[in-house]
Amino acid sequence: MILIDHDECIFCGGCSSVCPASAIELRGTRVATYPEKCIDCGLCVKACPANVIEMFKGIKRVEDLPEEVRKKYNV
């Protein structure tokens, strides 16, 4: 799965346009992600001009993220 620093996101749509799994979309004023669809390809991380996407390979649920990561991203 990926997490996004929404405070620093410039809402450019670069991530959603490269995602091969439709796991990211621009919704309203925020980028929505669908961890269950993510295939951990890393394309969005590379495509983000603001460098605000972090990938956590093999993790599908926020509950399985390390505590410090959950705190950092407020999830």
The binding site for ligand SF4 (CB under 6 A) comprises: 2, 4, 9-15, 18-19, 21, 23-24, 31, 38-44, 47-48, 50, 52-53, 55
Q: Which is nearer to ligand SF4, 42 or 66 (CB)?
A: 42
43-74 b/e (C-beta count within 10 Å ≥ 16 → b):
bbbebbeeebbebbeebeeeeebeeeeeeeee
Q: Which is nearer to ligand SF4, 41 or 62 (CB)?
A: 41
Q: Which is nearer to ligand SF4, 4 or 59 (CB)?
A: 4
Minimal distance in Å, beta carbon 74 to ligand SF4? 16
Residue 4, SS3 per DSSP: strand
